[in-house]
Structure 1
């Protein structure tokens, strides 16, 4: 499967702009979808669910699709709020500090930029994370 081909360009383009603006970030094809990494750590992953595939994402997001979902890392009080808020957020079972977000028809790109910047800072080495200017909430 062509990993990035399933993610709509109207979602991939703004995600790419946010993620690649962060230092030492690279984009790569994931087993499904696209992921962004800082050094060896993935801090964001986007994938489109179609006909219940990939099944782990379909179960976690409670949809057979078509739907595009983003996963990222969070922590502190924000983590529990996001995981318990409900749509568009969900708590995937593959990591206690991972949050999923369904990217519906009109994603809030400012909120997504904040969440991805925070995710980057959680996954990046401390000295690199300190160089990042975080968006104002």
Structure 2
């Protein structure tokens, strides 16, 4: 999958959430609902050559997913200290899982009124 195709897929997921928007942050697509909830690195970033995303996550999620699937999930730089997770987007991508990670990130960051709107 090309970086452009990958970006379009993640964009479609993230922009489907109420009042979400895309902005470029550090040269890559990032998705916001007032505050940032997902950062996409379609061509890799830092010491990671593979495409991946960073996503906000609730308390304990980072430890759980990194311990259970360290080949797919990792602690990202900068935002990892706030509990965010990194997810590889190479190989066989499970798009339902990507959508779930993005939705969980949105729910973690979005105001409650928007979470209620999403649940309708």
TM-score (norm 2): 0.85
Q: 1:104 aligns with which of 90, 96, 107?
A: 90
Q: How many angstroms apart in 1 are the aligned matches of 2:59 and 2:117?
A: 21
Q: How many angstroms apart in 1 are the aligned matches of 2:39 and 2:53?
A: 6
Aligned: 1:10 with 2:20: no
Q: How many angstroms apart in 1 are the aligned matches of 2:60 and 2:93?
A: 22
Q: Which residue of 1 aligns with 2:108?
A: 122
Q: Where do 1:21-60 residues align within 5 Å? A: 21-39=16-34, 41-47=35-41, 48-49=43-44, 54-55=45-46, 58=47
How much has 1:30 moved relative to structure 2?
1.2
Q: Which runs of 5+ in 1 are unaligned?
A: 1-6
Q: Which residue of 2 aligns with 1:79?
A: 62
Q: Which residue of 1 aligns with 2:75?
A: 91
Higher relative contact order (CA 8 A, sep 6+): 2
Deviations 1:49-107 (A, max 9, x none): 2xxxx43xx2xxxx3x2x11100011244332113230110012423310001101221
Q: How many angstroms apart in 1 are the aligned matches of 2:52 and 2:27?
A: 11
Secondary structure, in 3 states, of the residue corresponding to 1:117? helix
Paired residues in the alignment total 115
Q: How many angstroms apart in 2 are the aligned matches of 1:112 and 1:133?
A: 19
Q: Which runs of 5+ in 2 are unaligned?
A: none
TM-score (norm 1): 0.75
Structure with the greater alpha carbon radius of gyration: 1
